[in-house]
């Protein structure tokens, strides 16, 4: 079983569009959407028979107002600006924890003299196992404002790996998140090949470099594919050059086609349509799967 | 020699857990006494970050000499090495197969 | 005035909008690039680098002489950043959230060291000041760097925050406390799905916001219908124009080169001022 992770550095480069096409082309695969903050694969994969599980993580502090003596120590010590201070009608100072800012470090509990801090492990989102036309899919969704440590991503990946092993899948396809933070680190961990989908812009080039730098620190094999390359052939050439300088291999280019967003809007997968963009993606898949097997 | 294996099982035929830091427990096999000890690791699994590091800390405290695992992140490796634990990376799926493959049954 | 340009989905055009607004603004503008994992505004604003500083967070440093390997610090740390072994204590800076937990040491054996989180670079181009945060690769604490970037919010003129994509900690840190948020989206099922998540978040944070639809003629009417049903103002629609795509790919703004877009962005700015 080989694991392919598709990332971009820059958001909106076309990761999910490419991942969905790969899911359609790959025989015997398991699919996993690791963009748990803003997942989009399900829109094209159309999952069914979904089993949903709650995801709990970290700690959340809460101040028990009955026990609180308003000493203000928690407010003084909290380094995440997660304690709000206000005054009530009687003039008493009220301290309240901002749920979205609390990092769960529990320092407030440590300094509190009145035992007024309650710590709990809140639900942060859900993870799901579904069936799709293209194979089993493991995906997730974080609640708005949920901490995005990468833990949910790691969970999705480990469930997907187990599924792939149990089903004797040939490929585990992972649609990754944008950026270079924890969720991306969690999504690339253990991959056999990283595919960076980028766009022919200065921003795309810059973000690709940062994501290759991240991949280097994990000693991963990196391949680069330029989406909508003909919007700017000069920058595309620059990107190929930079990719090569950074030890990444180019696995082809996908041309710009105005009709792509409309096809996606209809919930259709590009490689299942006719046309040149479809052929371009199929060629990239051929290169990628060959590299994956080697 | 005390050898540790990340696993959810409790005997030498148990499957070695693929992701070191997410192991539910560690099975410690003493090659001299042939005794088996299980160290529970579930307390560490709920962490958002650094499960590998914490798991390495927990198992190192048990005084092991060798850790056999399928992969081990750089930080977890660092912790084990700092505790003078030798790391053996294996492809074998079960503990007994790994012991045989890597000739670990010697005192 | 302080506004933020945000989006659940990446690649919808936040930076395009933020930079073009900065260019047509009449007052002095401070543009704050809070997409610290992948900052891009500098390509579009240019100008001279007038300042660059490192931003650090405090991380623990253990005094071996005083340390008894009691392990209280390791038991307390929620991020597994400090590990106690029989013979030594190891600190993993990259895991550290700088929570201040080092005070739990019963032997006063822990002091702190600054650890570089990232950099803030300040560029000036005419009346536009760009404050850019860039996170050092491998670091986890985006929100703290974003908070440092926001310390450069000016009391004069217009402040525009270019927020990171998504709806979790970094995005929340970027948009908190602003007068108005412009949510940039695209008229596709991907855009709509992520827009709904962003709307839920902004409602929870009690922030005022409106929606801008980019590449408005490429997809479907899902986003329009959603905004209509929820009474969310649509502040502007930018059509899918290859000229914009090309300008963006070169790192250029369109308001200088194409007069009709100068008008469009001026109108967007008026609508933001009107709705804020």
Q: Write out chain A residues lying below 8 Å of C190, CB-based.
A: 16, 40, 43, 264
Q: How far apart are CA A29 and CA A136, in angstroms?
A: 8
Q: Would you call C10 and A16 a contact, using CB atoms and an 8 Å cutoff?
A: no
Over residues A181-210, the pLDDT tens digits come to 778 888 988 899 999 999 998 888 988 998
Quick one: closest CA in B to A155, which residue? Answer: B22
Distance of CA C69 to the CA centre of its chain: 40
Nearest to C236 by CA among C258, C255, C259, C213: C213
Looking at the fold, whether A102 and A190 belong to one and the same domain comes out as no
Nearest to A135 by CA among A162, A171, A159: A171
Looking at the fold, whether A153 and A93 belong to one and the same domain comes out as no
Question: pLDDT grade, residue B46 (50/70/90)?
Answer: confident
Q: Which burial class, exposed, middle or buried, applies to C154 when counting CB atoms under 10 A from its CB (0-12, 13-18, 19+)?
A: middle
Residue A291 has pLDDT above 90, yes or no: yes
Looking at the fold, whether A170 and A241 belong to one and the same domain comes out as yes
Q: How far is B98 from chain A (nearest CA, A)?
A: 20
Tell me the average pLDDT of chain A. Answer: 92
B25: left (phi over 0), alpha (psi -120 to 50) or beta: beta
How far the first Cα of chain B sits from its last, in Å, is 6
Quick one: closest CA in C to A199, which residue? Answer: C249
Over residues C177-198, the pLDDT tens digits come to 999 999 999 998 889 998 999 9
Q: Would you call A13 and C165 a contact, using CB atoms and an 8 Å cutoff?
A: no
Percentage of residues in chain A having pLDDT higher than 90: 70
Q: Could you state, in order of their start, the residue ranges of all structural domains in chain B?
A: 2-101
Reduced DSSP (H G I as helix, E B as strand, rest coil) percent helix, strand, coil of chain C, to 5: 35, 30, 40
Strand partners, A123: A56
ipTM, 2 decimals? 0.82
Contact (Cβ atoms closer than 8 angstroms) between residue C10 and residue C165: yes
Residue A62 has pLDDT above 80, yes or no: yes
Q: How far apart are CA A155 and CA A187, in angstroms?
A: 10
pLDDT of the residue at C272: 94
Question: pLDDT grade, residue A146 (50/70/90)?
Answer: low
Nearest to C237 by CA among C19, C35, C13, C31: C13
A235 closest CB neighbour out of C103, C215, C249: C249
Residue B87 has pLDDT above 70, yes or no: yes
Question: pLDDT grade, residue A144 (50/70/90)?
Answer: confident
Looking at the fold, whether A64 and A76 belong to one and the same domain comes out as yes
Q: Does B54 touch chain C (CB under 8 A)?
A: yes
Contact (Cβ atoms closer than 8 angstroms) between residue C142 and residue C97: no
Residues of B with CB under 8 A from a CB of A: 18-19, 22, 46-49, 71, 73
Q: How far apart are CA B21 and CA C221, in angstroms?
A: 47
Q: Which residue has the tokens 């469009």?
A: C264
Looking at the fold, whether A225 and A103 belong to one and the same domain comes out as no
Neighbours of chain B (3+ CB pairs under 8 A): A, C
Q: How far apart are CA A129 and CA B51, in angstroms?
A: 24
Looking at the fold, whether A103 and A173 belong to one and the same domain comes out as no
Q: How far is C88 from chain B (nearest CA, A)?
A: 8
Q: How far is B53 from chain C (nearest CA, A)?
A: 7
A37 lies in which domain range?
Answer: 2-57+125-293
DSSP per-residue codes, C83-136: EE-SS-EEE-GGG----SGGGG-TT--EEEEEEEEEEEEEEEETTEEEEEEEEP
pLDDT of the residue at B17: 85
Q: How far apart are CA C196 and CA C229, in angstroms?
A: 12
Q: Where would I find the beta strands (DSSP E) of B1-107?
A: 2-7, 25-30, 36-40, 66-69, 86-89
Q: Does A57 touch chain B (CB under 8 A)?
A: yes
User: Does the domain formed by B2-101 have CATH 3.40.50.300?
Assistant: no
pLDDT of the residue at B107: 54
Distance of CA A215 to the CA centre of its chain: 15
B48 closest CB neighbour out of A147, A189, A190: A147
C80 closest CB neighbour out of B47, B82, B83: B47
Looking at the fold, whether A33 and A50 belong to one and the same domain comes out as yes
Q: Does A275 touch chain B (CB under 8 A)?
A: no
Neighbours of chain A (3+ CB pairs under 8 A): B, C
A79 closest CB neighbour out of C99, C168, C170: C99
Side by side, the strands of the sheet bearing B86-89 are: B36-40, B25-30, B2-7, B66-69, B86-89
Distances (CA, A) of A73 to A62, A65, A87, A94, C108: 14, 14, 16, 12, 20
Which whole number is the average pLDDT over A29-37?
Answer: 94
Q: How far apart are CA B93 and CA B86, in angstroms?
A: 19
| Structural fold of domain C2-55+119-275 | Rossmann fold (3.40.50)
**CATH for A268:** 3.40.50.300
Neighbours of chain C (3+ CB pairs under 8 A): A, B
Looking at the fold, whether A115 and A28 belong to one and the same domain comes out as no
Quick one: closest CA in A to B23, which residue? Answer: A158
Looking at the fold, whether A105 and A208 belong to one and the same domain comes out as no
- Residue to substitute from B16, B47, B48, interface A, most A β-carbons within 10 A: B48
pLDDT of the residue at B48: 66
What is the number of other CB atoms lying within 10 angstroms of the CB of residue C250? Answer: 14
Which of A120, A137, A160 is where one domain is finished?
Answer: A120
Q: How far is A58 from chain B (nearest CA, A)?
A: 6
Looking at the fold, whether A213 and A78 belong to one and the same domain comes out as no
pLDDT of the residue at A258: 86
Looking at the fold, whether A237 and A194 belong to one and the same domain comes out as yes
Q: Would you call C85 and B57 a contact, using CB atoms and an 8 Å cutoff?
A: yes
Q: Would you call B49 and A149 a contact, using CB atoms and an 8 Å cutoff?
A: yes
Instruction: Provide the CATH number for the domain formed by C64-108 in this structure.
Output: 3.30.70.20
Which whole number is the average pLDDT over B79-85?
Answer: 92
Q: Would you call A158 and B48 a contact, using CB atoms and an 8 Å cutoff?
A: no
Residue ranges of chain C that CATH labels 3.30.70.20:
64-108
Q: Does B106 touch chain C (CB under 8 A)?
A: no
**CATH for A104:** 3.30.70.20
Question: pLDDT grade, residue A180 (50/70/90)?
Answer: confident
Q: Would you call A151 and B18 a contact, using CB atoms and an 8 Å cutoff?
A: no
Looking at the fold, whether A108 and A132 belong to one and the same domain comes out as no
Residues of chain C with pLDDT under 50: none
Which of A79, A101, A120 is where one domain is finished?
Answer: A120
Q: How far apart are CA C252 and CA B32, in angstroms?
A: 71
| Number of structural domains chain A divides into | 2
Q: Write out chain B residues lying below 8 Å of C78, CB-based.
A: 47-48
Q: How far apart are CA A213 and CA C201, in angstroms?
A: 32
Where b means 16+ CB within 10 Å and e means fewer, A152-165 reads bbbbbbebbbebbe
In chain B, alpha helices (H): 42-45, 51-60, 74-82, 95-101
Residue A219 has pLDDT above 80, yes or no: no
């Amino acid at each position: 079983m080989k694991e392919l992770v598709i990332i971009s550095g820059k958001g909106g480069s076309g990761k999910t569009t490419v991942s969905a096409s790969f899911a359609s082309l790959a025989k015997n695969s398991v699919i996993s959407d690791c963009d748990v903050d803003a997942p989009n694969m399900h829109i094209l994969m159309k999952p069914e028979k979904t089993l949903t599980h709650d995801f709990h993580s970290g700690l959340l502090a809460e101040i028990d107002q009955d026990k609180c003596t308003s000493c203000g120590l928690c407010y003084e010590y909290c380094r995440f600006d997660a304690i709000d201070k206000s005054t009530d009608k009687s003039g008493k100072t009220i301290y309240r924890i901002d749920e979205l800012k609390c990092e769960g470090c529990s320092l407030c509990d440590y300094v509190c003299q009145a035992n007024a801090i309650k710590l709990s492990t809140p639900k942060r989102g859900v993870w799901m196992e579904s069936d799709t036309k293209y194979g089993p899919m493991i995906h997730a969704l974080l609640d708005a404002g949920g901490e995005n440590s990468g833990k949910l991503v790691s969970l999705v990946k480990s469930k997907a790996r187990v599924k792939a092993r149990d089903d004797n899948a040939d490929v585990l396809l992972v649609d990754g998140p944008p950026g270079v933070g924890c969720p991306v680190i969690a999504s690339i961990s253990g991959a056999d090949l990283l595919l960076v989908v980028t766009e022919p812009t200065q921003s795309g080039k810059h973000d690709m470099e940062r994501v290759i730098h991240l991949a280097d620190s994990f000693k991963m094999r990196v391949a680069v594919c330029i989406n909508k390359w003909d919007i700017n052939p000069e920058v595309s050439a620059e990107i190929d050059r930079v990719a090569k300088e950074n030890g990444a291999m180019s696995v082809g280019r996908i041309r710009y086609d105005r009709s792509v967003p409309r096809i996606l809007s209809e919930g259709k997968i590009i490689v299942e349509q006719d046309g040149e963009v479809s052929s371009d993606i199929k060629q990239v898949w051929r290169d990628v799967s060959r590299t994956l097997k080697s | 020699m005390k050898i540790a294996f990340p696993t959810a099982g409790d005997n030498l035929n148990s499957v070695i857990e693929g992701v070191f830091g997410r192991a539910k427990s560690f099975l410690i096999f003493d090659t001299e006494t042939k005794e088996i000890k299980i160290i529970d690791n579930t307390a560490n699994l709920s962490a958002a970050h650094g499960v590998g590091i914490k798991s390495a800390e927990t198992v190192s405290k048990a005084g092991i000499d060798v850790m056999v695992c399928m992969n081990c992140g750089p930080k977890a490796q660092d912790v084990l090495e700092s505790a003078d634990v030798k790391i053996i990376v294996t492809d074998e799926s079960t503990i007994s197969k790994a012991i045989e493959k890597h000739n670990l049954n010697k005192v | 005035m302080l506004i933020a340009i945000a989006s659940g989905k990446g690649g919808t055009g936040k930076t395009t909008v933020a930079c073009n607004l900065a260019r047509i603004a009449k007052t002095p503008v401070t543009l704050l690039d809070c997409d610290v994992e992948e900052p891009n505004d500098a390509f579009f604003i240019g100008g001279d680098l007038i300042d660059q500083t490192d931003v650090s967070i405090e991380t623990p440093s253990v005094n071996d002489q005083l340390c008894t390997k009691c392990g209280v610090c390791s038991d307390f740390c929620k991020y597994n950043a400090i590990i106690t072994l029989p013979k030594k204590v190891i600190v993993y800076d990259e895991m550290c959230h700088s929570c201040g937990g080092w005070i739990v040491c019963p032997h006063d054996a822990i002091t702190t060291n600054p650890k570089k989180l990232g950099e803030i670079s300040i560029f000036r181009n005419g009346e536009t000041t760009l404050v850019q945060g860039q996170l050092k690769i491998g670091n986890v604490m985006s929100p703290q760097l974003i908070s440092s970037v926001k310390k450069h919010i000016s009391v004069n003129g217009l402040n525009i925050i270019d927020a990171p994509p998504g709806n979790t900690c970094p995005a929340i840190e970027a948009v908190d406390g602003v007068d108005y948020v412009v949510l940039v989206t695209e008229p596709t099922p991907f855009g709509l799905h992520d827009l709904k998540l962003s709307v839920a978040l902004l409602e929870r944070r009690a922030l005022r916001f409106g929606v801008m639809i980019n590449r408005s003629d490429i997809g479907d009417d899902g986003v329009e219908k959603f905004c209509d049903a929820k009474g969310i103002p649509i502040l502007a629609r930018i059509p899918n124009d290859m000229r914009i795509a090309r300008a963006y790919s070169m790192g250029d703004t369109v308001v200088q080169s194409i007069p009709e877009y100068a008008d469009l962005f001026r109108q967007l700015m008026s609508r933001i001022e009107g709705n804020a």
